[in-house]
Amino acid sequence: MSSHPADTAAPAPVPAGPPKRRNGRRIALIVALVVVLALVGTAVGAETYVRHKNERCIASQVEQELGSKVDVGFGPKPLLLTAVDHRVQYVTVDSDDTNFGPAVDMKVHARLNDIQLIDGGRGGANVGSSSADATWSNEGIAKTMSGLVSGVESDPASGTLRAQVLGGLAALQVKPQIVNGKIEVTTESAQLFGMGLPTDLVDGIVQAMTESLQTYPMGLQPSEVKVTDKGIEVALRGGATTLPGGSGEARC
Residue 208 lies in a domain: yes
pLDDT band at 4 (very low <50, low <70, confident <90, very high): low
pLDDT in tens, 134-166: 999 999 999 998 888 989 999 999 999 999 987
With a cut of 70, say whether residue 63 has pLDDT above it: yes
Mean pLDDT of the chain, nearest integer: 79
DSSP H or E segment with residue 200: helix 199-211
Residue 124 lies in a domain: yes
Domain match, 151 and 123 both: no
Least confident interval from 192-196, 212-216, 220-224:
192-196
Q: Which residues of 204-239 are buried (b: 16+ CB within 10 A; e: fewer)?
A: ebbebbbebbeebbbbbebeebebeeebbebebebe
With a cut of 80, say whether residue 37 has pLDDT above it: no
Domain match, 119 and 143 both: no
Give the count of domains, the chain: 2
Residue 26 lies in a domain: no
- Confidence at residue 42, expressed as pLDDT on a 0 to 100 scale: 57
Residue 87 lies in a domain: yes
Domain match, 88 and 144 both: no
Domain match, 179 and 220 both: yes
Q: Is 56 helix (H, G, I), strand (E, B) or coil?
A: helix
Domain match, 102 and 159 both: no
Domain match, 123 and 166 both: no
Residue 39 lies in a domain: yes
Domain match, 58 and 125 both: yes
Residue 14 lies in a domain: no
Cβ contacts of 76 within 8 Å, gap of 6 or more: 89
Share of the chain above pLDDT 90, in %: 32
Query: Tell me, what DSSP letter sits at residue 119?
Result: G
Domain match, 36 and 130 both: yes
- Confidence at residue 51, expressed as pLDDT on a 0 to 100 scale: 58
Minimal CA–CA distance to 250: which of 97, 20, 72, 22?
72
pLDDT in tens, 66-120: 777 888 887 776 665 566 677 888 888 898 888 888 888 899 999 999 988 887 6
Q: Is 134 helix (H, G, I), strand (E, B) or coil?
A: strand
Residue 95 lies in a domain: yes
Provide the residue range defining the domain that includes 154.
137-235
186 within 8 A of 165, measured Cβ to Cβ: no
130 within 8 A of 58, measured Cβ to Cβ: no
Domain match, 87 and 38 both: yes
Please tell me the distance from the alpha carbon of residue 227 to that of residue 177, in angstroms, as a whole number.
10
End-to-end C-alpha distance for the chain, whole angstroms: 105
Best-predicted range by mean pLDDT (52-61, 82-91, 128-137): 128-137
Domain match, 40 and 123 both: yes
Domain match, 54 and 128 both: yes
147 within 8 A of 164, measured Cβ to Cβ: no
The region that residue 52 occupies, defined by phi over 0 for left and psi between -120 and 50 for alpha, beta otherwise, is alpha
Q: Residue 175 half-sphere exposure, CB side, CA atoms within 13 Å? A: 11
Minimal CA–CA distance to 241: which of 113, 63, 141?
113
243 within 8 A of 110, measured Cβ to Cβ: no
DSSP H or E segment with residue 58: helix 20-66
